């Protein structure tokens, strides 16, 4: 079973991830991970923090001689901004931001300072997830599976040529913006996932992974919302001779199983709660109505989130592929992949009696 854990706070010494269950024999270097971390690092709408961080991943275990060993892979990403906070007197943060973890975490964990909650819940946590995704992407490419995402909307604007102007206008207004990201996985074989149990469905796992990302609040697979307004005969993908499809309204998944078409997801990302323009809240120390205090953040995290979306999708697909193929090494997996069926066996000419 492929699994991972992340640890660390936004302004702590470092962020870490452990990827367990990864097969042996995959060529892997820190430079491969660096490519995706660089894509996350600086982009349209990024805040001041990214001028400080370099986000270089160190591989601490699970790789020897440039090859994965089958042991847990440990990744460490240093927080360079930690040095600016270490030893400083930081007053308690007591005015929760609407839409952030602040208030809920304070109630749940008994915090008298809101910072421990949002330090962990921060989207800074996606840095090690991007590293995990880069490793999984390297595995998927051995099987000609690619994952790519793009921004299709920012604050209702669908013209990419207008994205920058929309973001800069929001920056000037002290606002934050959300948007929509579309991710496509191509080359996915038939048969990943299962219809046998709810938690084994590939769409269940992809949707859960997407929603786990900070500020992602909606997931669509294929043409889900458009299909809701169509009659049944127009909402599905006709099966033509040769078992081909002329449409992909289902987004590459039927009954929780990949059907060989590209897997398509669209994710709705809300505007993040941290804004220069104050929002109405309550100071928990005094009980008085106050405006929120700005905590350094992005204006629009949507462009930077593109690579994080790719990362969690790559992880789910890598896990599902490992379950399908089995094996402890890449050398075991590749021959099994080449023998995967793309069509069912010949059907019997006479009916079977399934139940007595």
pLDDT digits (tens, 9 = 90+) for 298-341: 899 999 999 999 999 999 999 999 999 999 999 999 999 999 99
SS3 assignment, position 3: strand
User: In the structure, what pLDDT confidence band is assigned to residue 237 with cuts at 50, 70 and 90?
Assistant: very high
**Residue 355 is assigned to a structural domain of this protein:** no
Segment 288-291 long-range contacts (CB within 8 Å, at least 24 positions apart): 290/95, 291/95
pLDDT digits (tens, 9 = 90+) for 95-131: 999 999 999 999 999 999 999 999 999 999 999 999 9
**Residue 352 is assigned to a structural domain of this protein:** no
SS3 assignment, position 216: strand
For residue 48, pLDDT over 70 is answered with no
| Alpha-carbon gap, residue 298 to 281, rounded angstroms | 21
**Residue 345 is assigned to a structural domain of this protein:** no
User: In the structure, what pLDDT confidence band is assigned to residue 351 with cuts at 50, 70 and 90?
Assistant: confident
- CATH classification at residue 137: 3.60.150.10
Return the structure tokens found at 136: 């999984």
What rounded mean pLDDT belongs to the chain? Answer: 93
Q: Tell me the mean pLDDT in the region 45-62.
A: 77
SS3 assignment, position 222: coil
User: In the structure, what pLDDT confidence band is assigned to residue 297 with cuts at 50, 70 and 90?
Assistant: confident
Q: Tell me the mean pLDDT in the region 29-34.
A: 95
**Residue 348 is assigned to a structural domain of this protein:** no
**Residue 219 is assigned to a structural domain of this protein:** yes
| Alpha-carbon gap, residue 332 to 263, rounded angstroms | 25
Segment 152-155 long-range contacts (CB within 8 Å, at least 24 positions apart): 152/179, 152/180, 152/181, 152/182, 152/266, 153/179, 153/180, 154/178, 154/179, 154/300, 154/302, 155/179, 155/271, 155/300
pLDDT at 47: 61
Say which DSSP state 249 is in.
T
Q: Model pTM?
A: 0.94
For residue 348, pLDDT over 80 is answered with no
Q: For residue 115, what are the domain limits? A: 3-338
Of the candidate ranges 32-46, 137-151, 314-328, the one whose mean pLDDT is the lowest: 32-46
pLDDT at 159: 96
> Which residue in this structure is represented by tokens 């330090």?
119
Q: Tell me the mean pLDDT in the region 70-83.
A: 91
For residue 51, pLDDT over 70 is answered with no
**Residue 250 is assigned to a structural domain of this protein:** yes
Of the candidate ranges 211-225, 263-277, 286-300, the one whose mean pLDDT is the lowest: 286-300
**Residue 49 is assigned to a structural domain of this protein:** yes
**Residue 343 is assigned to a structural domain of this protein:** no
- DSSP assignment string, 25-81: --B--HHHHHHHHHHHHS-TT--GGGGT----EEEEESEETTEE-SSPEEEEEE-TT
For residue 347, pLDDT over 90 is answered with no
Cβ–Cβ < 8 Å for 353, 239: no
Q: How many independent structural domains does the chain possess?
A: 1
> Which residue in this structure is represented by tokens 């921060």?
122
């Amino acid at each position: 079973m492929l699994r991972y854990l992340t640890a660390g706070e936004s302004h702590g010494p470092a962020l870490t991830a452990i990827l367990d269950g990864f097969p042996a024999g995959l060529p892997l270097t820190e430079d491969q991970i660096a490519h995706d971390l660089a894509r996350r690092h600086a982009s349209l709408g990024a805040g001041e923090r990214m001028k400080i961080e370099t986000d270089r991943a160190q591989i601490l275990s699970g790789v020897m001689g440039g090859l994965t060993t089958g042991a847990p892979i440990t990744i460490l990403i240093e927080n360079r901004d930690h040095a600016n906070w270490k030893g400083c007197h930081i007053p308690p943060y007591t005015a929760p931001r609407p839409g952030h973890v602040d208030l809920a975490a304070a109630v749940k964990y008994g915090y008298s300072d809101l910072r421990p909650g949002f330090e962990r819940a921060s989207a800074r946590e996606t840095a090690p997830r991007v590293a995990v995704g880069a490793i999984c992407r390297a595995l998927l490419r051995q099987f000609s599976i690619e994952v790519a995402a793009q921004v299709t909307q920012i604050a209702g604007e669908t013209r990419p040529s207008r994205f920058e102007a929309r973001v800069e206008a929001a920056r000037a207004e002290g606002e934050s913006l959300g948007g929509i990201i579309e991710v496509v996985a191509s080359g996915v074989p038939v048969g990943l996932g299962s219809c046998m149990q709810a938690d084994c469905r590939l769409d269940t796992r992809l949707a859960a992974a997407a929603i786990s990302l900070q500020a992602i609040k909606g997931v669509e697979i294929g043409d889900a919302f458009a299909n809701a307004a169509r009659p049944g005969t127009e909402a599905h993908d006709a099966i033509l001779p040769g078992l081909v499809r002329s449409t992909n309204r289902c987004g590459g998944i039927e009954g929780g199983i990949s059907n060989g078409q590209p897997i398509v997801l669209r994710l709705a990302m809300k505007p993040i709660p941290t804004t220069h323009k104050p929002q109405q809240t309550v100071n928990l120390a005094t009980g008085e109505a106050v405006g929120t205090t700005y905590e350094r953040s992005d204006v629009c995290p949507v462009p930077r989130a593109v690579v994080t979306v790719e990362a969690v999708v790559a992880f789910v697909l890598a896990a599902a592929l490992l379950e399908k193929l089995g094996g402890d090494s890449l050398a075991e997996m590749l021959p099994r992949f080449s023998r995967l069926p793309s069509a069912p066996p010949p059907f019997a000419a006479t009916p079977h009696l399934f139940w007595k």
